[in-house]
């Protein structure tokens, strides 16, 4: 029988404390206790096993020299907080994050100026022999994304604002399905140049849906829902696949861990139905700072790792980015331990 919310609470709190670097006098926490399966999932199969944590098999996505996928360890990420135009300060922070254990670092690229500064950042890091993969965070500015692809190993695009950042979709009545489909063609036309650029240069893409920034077009058909988040990402994924580009990952971030877990499970279930195996990037949007931020991430990320979902994670804190790596590393280790323990138990049950 699945654990009730009441029995799960101590485990959640203990995991949050562990992720925060404390060691209270409580029994060692297992992520298996965080599966949050109070009732059967209505979305179909979303993980390999409902009884034991088992990592979901995925393809391998290459981001520079780092590989994301089920064949390797969970990749740890963080995000810089400097002004990307301040090249020296940004390089210094990237190096601190690398030394703290980051496998890759994401930077904000608001416009063409930041994209051009990124070329300087990449060159400076290369000249220093620091070859840590960099990820560009792109919103609204499609031209900047094409420049950023020259400097970054992965481009994160937000389906909610990459193609309709001008908010023109808000002026259209989407009660007509034909109008909804017509706008899909505009999205394909807008997104295709970036996909082709990334394919040419060997870059990766993260199709990163955010619950707080779904487009008016998606909201008109699916509402403010986990299904809307998934459908938004699938539109961009279908474009990638049409262009024979498969070096991409998904993310379904939300500030509410419950919504976040629902969206990732629905996305995983959809991938099972479609026969897809793209990796997942896990994270809770703007989790906060201190114990609160670590607890929200422990609940959301921890529950999914217990499902065997997740190939790269970021614990989003309103602190200097290097401080995100310790709770990130703790959650990754607990996730690996949960899957390993289940595998050992399964092996032990096989007759000699």
The C-alpha atoms of residue 105 and residue 312 are separated, in whole angstroms, by: 12
DSSP 8-state symbol, 281: E
The pLDDT assigned to 233 comes to 97
> Where does residue 21 fall: left (phi above 0), alpha (psi -120 to 50 degrees), or beta otherwise?
left
Q: Assess contact for 75 and 280: CB atoms under 8 A.
A: no
Residues contacting residue 178 through CB under 8 Å, at least 6 positions apart: none
The pLDDT assigned to 165 comes to 52
The C-alpha atoms of residue 332 and residue 13 are separated, in whole angstroms, by: 17
The pLDDT assigned to 225 comes to 92
The pLDDT assigned to 287 comes to 64
DSSP 3-state assignment of 106? strand
The pLDDT assigned to 4 comes to 37
The pLDDT assigned to 175 comes to 67
Residue 263: how many other CB atoms lie within 10 Å: 25
Residue 219: how many other CB atoms lie within 10 Å: 17
Q: Assess contact for 308 and 35: CB atoms under 8 A.
A: no
The C-alpha atoms of residue 303 and residue 261 are separated, in whole angstroms, by: 7
The pLDDT assigned to 37 comes to 39
The pLDDT assigned to 25 comes to 36
In this prediction, the residues of the chain whose per-residue pLDDT falls under 50 are 1-13, 15-41, 166-169, 347, 350, 352
Closest CA to 253 of 203, 318, 304: 304
The pLDDT assigned to 293 comes to 85
Element (H, E) at 108: strand 104-109
């Amino acid at each position: 029988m699945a654990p009730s919310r009441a029995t799960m609470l101590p485990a959640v709190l203990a995991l949050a404390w562990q992720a925060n670097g404390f060691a209270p006098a409580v029994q060692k926490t297992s992520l298996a206790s965080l599966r949050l399966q109070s009732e059967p999932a209505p979305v179909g199969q979303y993980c390999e096993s409902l009884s034991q944590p088992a990592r979901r098999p995925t393809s391998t996505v290459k981001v520079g020299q780092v590989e994301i996928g089920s064949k390797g360890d969970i990749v740890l990420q963080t995000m810089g907080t400097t002004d990307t135009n301040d090249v020296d300060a940004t390089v210094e922070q990237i190096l601190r994050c690398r030394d703290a254990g980051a496998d890759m670092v994401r930077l904000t690229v608001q416009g063409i100026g930041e994209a051009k500064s990124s070329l300087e950042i990449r060159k400076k890091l290369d000249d220093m022999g620091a070859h840590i993969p960099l990820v560009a965070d792109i919103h609204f500015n499609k031209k900047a994304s094409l420049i950023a692809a020259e400097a970054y190993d992965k481009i994160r695009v937000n389906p909610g604002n990459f193609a309709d950042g001008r908010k023109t979709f808000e002026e259209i009545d989407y009660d007509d399905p034909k109008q909804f489909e017509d706008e899909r063609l505009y999205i394909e036309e807008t997104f295709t140049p970036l996909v082709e650029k990334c394919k040419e240069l060997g870059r990766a893409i993260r199709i990163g849906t955010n619950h707080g920034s779904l487009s008016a077009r998606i909201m008109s058909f699916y509402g403010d829902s986990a299904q809307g988040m998934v459908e938004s990402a699938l539109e961009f994924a279908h474009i990638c696949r049409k262009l024979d580009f498969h070096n991409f990952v998904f993310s379904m971030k939300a500030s509410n861990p419950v919504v976040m877990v629902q969206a990732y499970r629905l996305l995983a279930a959809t991938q099972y139905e479609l026969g897809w195996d793209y990796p997942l990037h896990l994270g809770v949007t703007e989790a906060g700072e201190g114990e609160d931020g670590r607890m929200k991430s422990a609940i959301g990320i921890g529950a999914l790792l217990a499902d065997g979902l997740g190939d790269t994670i970021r614990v989003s804190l309103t602190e200097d980015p290097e401080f995100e790596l310790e709770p990130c590393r703790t959650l990754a280790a607990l996730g690996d331990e949960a899957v390993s323990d289940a595998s050992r138990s399964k092996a032990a049950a096989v007759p000699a």
